[in-house]
Structure 1
Amino acid sequence: MKKVCFLITCFFFGIYYSQKEEFSNYYNIKKNYENYPENDVRAFKYLNNYIYLAKKENNNKQLAQGYEDAVFYSSSEKQKLIYADSTIMASLLTKNNDLISDAYLGKGVIYYFNYKKYKPALEEYLKAYQYSKDSKDDYLKNEILYHLGVVKSHLGYYDSALAHFQKANSFFFKKLQEKAHPNIIFNNKKGYYNTLHRIIVCQRNLKRYNSVDSLIITGLLRTKNDRDFSQEYGYFLKEKGISEFRKKDYQSALASLKKSLPPIVKINDFAWATVDYFYIGKSYLAINKPQKALLYFQKVDSVFNKHNFILPELRENYELLIYHYKNEKNNSKELYYTKQLLRADQLISKDFAYLSSTIHKEYDTKTLLDEKEKLEKVTSWGIQIIAGLIILAISLVTCIIIRLKNEQKIKLNYKILEEKIINYSYLPSTRSITKIKDEDKSVLNETMVNNILKKLQSFEERHGFIEYGLTINKLANKLNTNSTYLSQIINEYKGVNFNRYLGELRINYITNKLYNDKVFLNYKIETLAEKCGIASRTNFSNLFMEINGIRPTDFIKKRQQDMKINCRNFPKFNKIQLMSNQTSSSRLNLSKED
């Protein structure tokens, strides 16, 4: 049977060629290479003659077909793109919108499958969609629908993507009931299995597990022991392993996931391979084999470094690595994976913003506008409905983008603050002090200055600054000096005025308490303000933000998430983490509350 599959969906070609001219020169050439597998360059021995004949006869339709075949048999990703561009140029000369649409779709599939570059892939899909709007070819329309669903699934719009996949899946299933040429049957099976796999992925993310298990059984039964669909069998096995992991059947999950890897790796589908690695790692972690788990988590990082691509659902991979090395007290590796997580977040956020706005403006909104034109012929209510949907879609995208940017900023500032706490560089005494010019220094004698500085050090170590209503006059009395001298020394040797000095001590104190003592995470903001001697919730929150670059509510939320993930994923390290926290608390001179 001819393997017409190309990349993930393998819808790419064959639908047009199946209606070949019997015994034409093109057919006689093509029968010499059509049974070669994908990426087999031996085909070019005959394929070059096919392309030469099409050019000689100025047959742009056959030339487009020749270049499309060249995409399929090229082993180089770079060459595939070059031939894809040639396919588009030849198709444009035919002025056949179906051929043009198919050519743009083919180039998009290369960007998606071979490069995992969603931005250029989406641009090509949208061009294909525009040329297919008036097409009578339902097969082509469902190909495009599938690929647009893939982009939506990547963005996390699972409900919307699911609708695309279900519609395409119904089409291909219906076509399988019809008698047709073997090549067309093969293509329809490919379409059916790949849309079925994507439906399972969406249903899993929507937590509709009963449907997931039923569809996995269907997929495995239909593809088992079928060489032509070993890739799809691997996808269904992957989902079976994830389902077994969810049910805590970790040994079965490991068996299914490992068995699914060879056919996925064979076609270099590194995106789904990383999902396999991630769940294999989590399965090993669940059966208390952290070292084996780390090997697979690190495989995900290796793919990320090589291809600069990561699926959003694999973000947890880095959280697990960070917490492991934090508990191991391996600062260098913890810092490395923290930077990798920030890099992944930046990449995901950037892709999300572009893809989300494009899919809505260029596809969803245009689709709505097309429907609007039809509705206008029936009722004026259609205008208001469509306009409202457009405004709602754009508003939703804008809100999501703003929220993502804010969350990214919070994550970054939290990590920076956490690094300071862990490395003991968060106390006021370690802060760089403004250099005072000789002419600006006070005339206080050195003995008096040293005496007051020692008393200030004792004041800091005793946490005297948490006293409510503390003023410079009160502190001067406690230190047996006057407020003028004390103010001068704080300005010169602490580099700030008294109010700022007191504020930093209080905020640094409560920040360290929040990080190291989980009891403080349950306090209300008003209580936290009171605990460090600040009069009001508003003043406390504003000062916390000014000094730390993050609101106290956001800091508490992030710290609670960290501790929850830590306890869930690395239970054997909890005792070590507690000892680490106690050690950190001791080094930072943070004693228990009086």
Structure 2
Amino acid sequence: MLAQELYSDYYHLRKKYEDFAENDSKAFPYIQPYINKAKKEKNYEKLVQGYKDAVFYSFFDDQKLKYADSMVWAANLSRDKDLLIIAHIDKGVIYYYNYKKYQLALNEYLEAYQYSKNTTNDYLKYQNLYHIGVVKSYLGYYDEAAELFDKCLVYYREKARSKLHPNEIYNNKKGYLNSLHQLIICYRHSGKYRELDAAIRKGLSEVGNNPEYAQEKAYFLLSKGIEEYTSKQYQQALSDLAQSLPSIRNSRDFARLSVNYFFIGKSYLGLGDSKQSVIYFNRIDSIFNKHQFILPELRENYEILINYSKKHNDQTQQLYYTSQLLKADSIMAKDFSYLSPKIHKDYDTKTLLEEKNKLQKINYLVTVIIILLIIWAIGLIMLFAKKQKKAKEIKQQYILLEEKFVKDNDVVVPNTLEAPNIFLEEKKINLHEKKVEELLRKLKTFENKKGFTQKGLTISKLAAQLGTNSSYLSQVINEHKGGNFNKYLSQLRINYITNLLFEDKKYLKYNIETLARECGIASRQNFSDLFYEINGIRPTDFIKKRMQEIENKNN
């Protein structure tokens, strides 16, 4: 009955905002009570849902990423593998869709994949396979990606036709249409034009004029426009590309928006209108400047602009587009495990650099650019050297810390803190020897039972627990534990959590806030500072080194 009542409360809270449009931040006054209730009741399933809703309705990308991190945090607390799959997939989608950071997205998808091996939720399995396929497609593994999308199509098609709740049917239909669109991209790049044409017709037939699938229809129209451009049907291509443009622009999918602009520009070129085409090619350059991302197939955009500048004797623009092309190559190379021959089909790096050197002799502006590039390079070298030095220091400190804990597997009782101030000796209260021994025994029990992990522990509280007073306890700790109460407590806590990080790799997956709470420290910053003060290394650096060490041993 109670569970039903709680469900009803959450249900009614969500009803207040579920009709808001995606990215509409006006939903937040209603989302926050939902999140607060789930936090208070430690209902992690609902908390994950609340953060998921916050991702959906956030307007800014950095907010979406922040709430995606919170999803992962709540899912970790739940220890529910399905919730962990959902959280990591959603975080990966933010990296992929909003930032186009494919490597970070793939890390999240692979993390979700590990949890999905034993799940009975097939929807989550195929959702994750779809996103892995998207990354494979981006990297140029079109045949491998197509296999994954084919599997997704079969699953989603069957589910979309099943007798499920309307929301589930809608989600599966979305999954089906998106898988079909990604398969079309694979067919286009693999030269499978017969399959491509059939898939486009199938997609447009499936979406019809249903406004719920307006974005998917725009993607199919974009694919149709590209196919028409390839067949030199330039006017028809412009019509379909223009029809797809509003939905793609509204979806904030800047990668597909760039593709749309590119083929509109190419279609105008096919019609002999170079001035109109350059307008669209420059829009792609604006998107690249804003997001620092460009798809490999759009590299030609800068080749066209370079040739256009040459033809019009505009050396300043020619130099600019040449630099942009080199920058685009550099960014693409970071993501790709290999470079497609297409990337360097007309302009290889050597030719581009020679062209740039020629322009530098003619245009005074180039000299300024070279100086700026040199300064930038020096800055990068200095930054790299600084990072290398810091990495070396971290490694050395980690080795020292590891040696310390190899010698003593138990939590180390602090006895190496600073020696007590001899000038305070006269002020100390004389304690009976037996009383001291009794307090030391109680402190030993306190340490063995991990009493130091209590939150908000003060010397007064500990004295009360041990049946003594603060003054006596303070004197014993100062004389026999090598420092004052705060240092004694801090070292117990940090040694305890450090030992857990060495011995149990599950703690390496916890965030800093969770680790702090585990050992009784309330503040993330306080925990990080104490960890550094005692261990000589930041907890984030320590965790990274420990995970690398475990990975190396496994390999």
Could you tell me the TM-score, scaled by structure 1's length?
0.58
Map of 2:319 onto structure 1: 335
CA distance in 2 between partners of 1:404 and 1:36 (Å): 43
Q: Distance in 2 between matches of 1:255 and 1:270?
A: 20
Alignment counterpart, residue 46 of structure 2, candidates 53, 62, 67: 62
Q: 1:253 to 1:110 in 2, by over 3 A?
A: same
Q: Are 2:194 and 1:210 equivalent residues in the alignment?
A: yes
Distance 2:147 2:11 in 1: 39
Match of 1:138 in 2: 122
Aligned to 1:322: 306
Off by >6 Å, runs of 4+ in structure 1: 19-22, 401-409
2:227 pairs with 1:243: yes
2: distance between equivalents of 1:406 and 1:216?
29
Aligned partner (choices 228, 245, 266) of residue 282 of structure 1 = 266
Query: Does residue 108 of the first structure (1) align with residue 92 of the second (2)?
Result: yes
Runs (5+) with no aligned partner, structure 1? 1-18, 354-399, 426-594
Deviations along 1:168-225, one digit per CA (max 9) or x if unpaired, are 1111001112100011011001100000001111001111111111111111122132
Answer yes or no: is 1:180 the counterpart of 2:164. Answer: yes
Question: How many angstroms apart in 1 are the aligned matches of 2:252 and 2:330?
Answer: 25
Residue type at the aligned position of 2:105: A
> Among 54, 60, 70, which residue is 1:86 paired with?
70
**What does residue 152 of structure 1 align with?**
136
Matching residue of 2:368: none
2:257 aligns to what? Answer: 273
**8 Å contact from structure 2 (residues 303, 347) kept in 1:** no
Alpha-carbon spacing, 1:413–1:214, altered in 2? closer, same or farther (3 Å):
closer
Equivalence for 1:118: 102
Instruction: Give the residue type in structure 2 aligned to 1:301.
Output: D
Name the CA shift for 1:187/1:20 in 2 (closer, same or farther; >3 Å): farther
- Unaligned runs of 5+ residues in structure 2 are 364-555
Letter of the structure 2 residue corresponding to residue 261 of structure 1: L
- Return closer, same or farther for 1:215/1:406 CA change in 2, 3 Å cut-off: closer
After superposition, residues 295-374 of structure 1 pair within 5 angstroms as 295-353=279-337
Higher relative contact order (CA 8 A, sep 6+): 1
Structure 2 letter corresponding to 1:71 = V
Match of 1:199 in 2: 183
The yes-or-no answer on 1:75 pairing with 2:59 is: yes
Alignment of 1:513-592 (within 5 A): none
* 1:242 to partner: Cα distance: 0.4
CA, structure 1 residues 268+424, in 2 after alignment: closer, same or farther (shift >3 Å)?
closer
Q: Summarize the Cα distance change of 1:326–1:21 in structure 2 as closer, same or farther, 3 Å threshold.
A: farther
Report how far residue 42 of structure 1 moved. 2.6
Q: Normalised by the size of structure 2, how large is the TM-score?
A: 0.62
For the residue of structure 1 that corresponds to 2:99, the secondary structure is coil
CA radius of gyration, larger in: 1
Aligned twin of 2:419 = none
- 1:410-448 CA-partner distances (Å, limit 9, x unpaired): 5235532674399689xxxxxxxxxxxxxxxxxxxxxxx
Residues 319 and 356, structure 2, Cα contact 8 Å, conserved in 1: no
Counterpart amino acid of residue 187 in structure 1 = N
Q: Give the Cα separation in 2 of the matches to 1:421 and 1:80.
A: 44
Instruction: Give SS of 1:24's match.
Output: helix
Q: Which residue identity lines up with residue 166 of structure 2 in the other structure? A: P
Do the aligned partners of 2:322 and 2:356 also contact (CA within 8 Å) in 1? no
Deviation of 1:266 after TM superposition, in Å, equals: 0.4
Partner SS state of residue 253, structure 1: helix
- What code does the residue aligned with 1:317 have? N
- Within the candidate set 150, 154, 157, 1:170 is matched to 154
SS of the counterpart of 2:200?
A: helix
Q: The residue matched to 1:134 in structure 2 has which SS?
A: coil
Q: Which residue of 1 aligns with 2:413?
A: none
Q: Please give the residue correspondences for 1:400-415 in structure 2 after superposition, counting only pairs within 5 Å.
A: 400=338, 411-412=349-350, 415=353
Equivalent residue of 1:233, what SS?
Answer: helix
Q: Which amino acid aligns with 1:345?
A: D
Tell me the equivalent position of 2:112.
128
- Partner of residue 501, structure 2: none
| Residues 1:47 and 2:31 aligned together | yes
Residue aligned with 1:148, SS: helix
Change (3 A) 1:88 1:211: same
> In structure 2, do the counterparts of structure 1 residues 258 and 352 end up closer, same or farther at CA, with 3 Å as the change threshold?
same
In the alignment, is residue 294 of structure 1 matched against residue 278 of structure 2?
yes
Question: Per the alignment, in what secondary structure is the counterpart of residue 172 of structure 2?
Answer: helix
| Identity between Structure 1 and Structure 2 (%) | 48
* Cα distance in 1, alignment partners of residues 191 and 5 from structure 2: 49
- The CA deviation at 1:405 is 12
- Residues 380-428 of structure 1 deviation map (CA, whole Å, 9 limit, x = unaligned): xxxxxxxxxxxxxxxxxxxx47999999995235532674399689xxx
Whether the aligned pair in 1 keeps the contact of 2:299 and 2:343 (CA below 8 Å) is: no
Q: 1:226 maps to which residue? A: 210
- Classify the secondary structure of the residue corresponding to 1:114: helix
Query: Which residue matches 2:358?
Result: 420
Output the amino acid matched with 1:415.
L
Partner Cα separation in structure 2 for residue 235 and residue 404 of structure 1: 24
Aligned equivalents of 1:337, 1:102: Cα separation in 2 = 42
Question: For 1:178, what is the secondary structure of its paired residue?
Answer: coil
Change (3 A) 1:200 1:403: closer
What is the CA-CA distance between 1:45 and the residue it aligns to? 2.3
CA RMSD of aligned residues (A): 2.6
The amino acid that maps onto 2:188 is: R
Taking the aligned partners of 1:291 and 1:20, their CA distance within structure 2 comes to 65
| 2: CA distance, partners of 1:196 / 1:40 | 28
Q: Distance in 2 between matches of 1:191 and 1:262?
A: 22
Q: What is the aligned partner in structure 2 of residue 485 from structure 1?
A: none
Decide whether the 8 Å contact of 2:319 with 2:359 is kept in 1.
no
- Letter of the 2:207 counterpart: T
2:19 matched to which residue of 1?
Answer: 35
